[in-house]
Amino acid sequence: MSHLSLSEAEVLALSPDAASTKAAQGLTSLTRWPLCGYRASAESADSSAVWGECQGSGGSPYQTQVALSPLAFKCSCPSRKFPCKHSLALLLLYARQQVPAQDSPPDWVQHWLDNRQAQAEKKTAKAAQKTTQAPANPAKAAQQKQQRTQARWEKIDLGLQELERWLHDLIAQGLAPACAAGETVQRWEHLAARMVDAQASGVAAVLQRASTLNHDPKALLPTLAHLQLLIDATRQREQLPAPLLADLMAALGWPQDKAEVCAHTPAHEDDWLVLGHTLQEREGRMLERQVWLHGLHSGHTAWLLDYSPAGRAFEQAWACGHRYRCALHFFPSAAPLRATLAPNSNPAALAPATAAPIPALAAVGTDALQLLSARSGANPLQFTQPLWGYHAQVVLAEGQWLACLHPVLHAAPSASGPYTLPLQLDDAQAWQLLALSGGQPLHLFGRWDGLQWLPLSAWLPQGSTTTPTHWQLCWHHLGDIA
């Protein structure tokens, strides 16, 4: 029975934070695992798994199980981190080839694997049925869909009219007095709840973001302008081209059916490099995961957005700095960015991208600000945007961490110096990133939200400093995003 290749570096790349890494390494003694084993199936990669029982502080051991292809985790411990320390420790033991091979897993593991297989088959069948099965009465179905759409637009219009009146009152009295008086959080929350009632959850999210900025007029103004832009775009939706209308609906929080996206858009197969990911807890303990990918052949950047109830594993694990061969479908947009995994596409993990080819990374980094400007211009309704920083330097100035971008590659001919962008990093992460760079230029990738840049991964040049042959991942963001 062959042992599926998995290195310790690959395992640690899955860790949600440094604390989990440290805790997992403290559980890598086989004495803590009275039961453990793995099965690598030659017939079906989907049935390959590693499992174990880890003795904790309670009377019963924690049952930990990991599906190997694609990676998925489940553990009976109460941890809300994904993967938990037990899953990481078990995979570390497996990577060190300390887990014995078994002919068959215990019943509790087999039951989980069977359920995963059944759910995958059910999902595939449902997607196929949805795309091929025509409604009994197409004309009636189309009419009902149009009526639902019209009813939703009417609700949104009424909600945005109320929001616009409030915005005009706020601007009329001036932002400085309003911020000095401290516009109450309850007022923002009331408006956000009103937008949810109006079926405009995307607008509610913008209001919730604005509530954290109501003490700073300079930071608050762009967010209020974005709200007005959404209002104006909604009012003129009949004149918008189809791609921009799709962007408007997405910005308003209109549900987007992944099966329908896959049915009506082409699949983009590529070797996708994982540039970074974040994990946030939403209302109701719902976990939101954002994964950023870069197509090494196509040059496309993809943004995957997944949700999972707390305690339940995501369907696919993505390790930062690793490559996966799979197909993605991009959601309709004037500047396609958000994507979803194609049905029946089982991401095949390739060799770790410790030697990312310089053409793939330098090509997207050379004109980073121009690319950001063009993407934002094509879809001004999208807050979140990818941003590369080629030859970037992390500096601390007056208590604020900044990224200085190389003037030769980023600035206009008339510019006198480098561009600086505020970073969304705590001190511990920023100092670590600065130390790892060793004073060398970094190739940074991160998420730009219109106000700050959140670095998600950093790459160091290998070979010649002036003409590097490849770039190596040296750092990636760990921890949840508040």
Three-state DSSP string of 32-66: HCCEEEEECCCCCHHHCEEEEEECCCCCCCEEEEE
Q: Counting every residue, how long is the chain?
A: 482
DSSP character for 438? Answer: T
User: What's residue 278's pLDDT?
Assistant: 87
Of residues 160, 335, 337, the one with CA closest to residue 244: 335
pTM exceeds 0.85 for this model: no
Q: Per-residue pLDDT averaged across 315-331, rounded? A: 85
Distance CA 183, CA 268 (A): 46
What is the residue-averaged pLDDT of the chain?
82
pLDDT band of residue 355 (cuts 50, 70, 90) is very low
Least confident span in 114-123, 164-173, 295-304, 372-381: 114-123
8 Å CB contact between 99 and 52: yes
* DSSP three-state, residue 248: helix
- Tell me if residue 345 falls in helix, strand or coil: coil
Q: What is the CB neighbour count within 10 angstroms for residue 62?
A: 21
Per-residue pLDDT band at 33 (split at 50, 70, 90): very high
**Is 53 within 8 Å of 60 (Cβ atoms)?**
no
Decide: 381 and 357 in contact? Cβ < 8 Å.
no
- What secondary structure does DSSP assign to 269-283, as a single string? EEEEEEEEEEEEEEG
Instruction: Give the other-Cβ count within 10 Å of 263's Cβ.
Output: 15
Asked if residue 129 has pLDDT above 90, the reply is no
Amino acid at 386: P
With contact defined as beta carbons under 8 Å apart, do 79 and 85 qualify? yes
Q: Summarize pLDDT for 109-121 with one digit per residue, the tens.
A: 988 888 888 877 7
CA gap 291, 209 in Å, rounded: 21
Q: 314 — phi, psi (to 5°)? A: -70, 155
Opening angle at CA 267, ends 264 and 270, nearest 5: 165
Q: Is residue 45 pLDDT above 70, yes or no?
A: no
| Least-confidence region, from 154-168, 174-188, 320-334, 383-397 | 174-188
8 A C-beta contact, residue 443 and residue 461? yes
Residue 214: phi and psi, rounded to 5, are -70, 0
Determine the Cα–Cα distance for residues 234 and 162; give it in Å rounded to an integer. Answer: 14
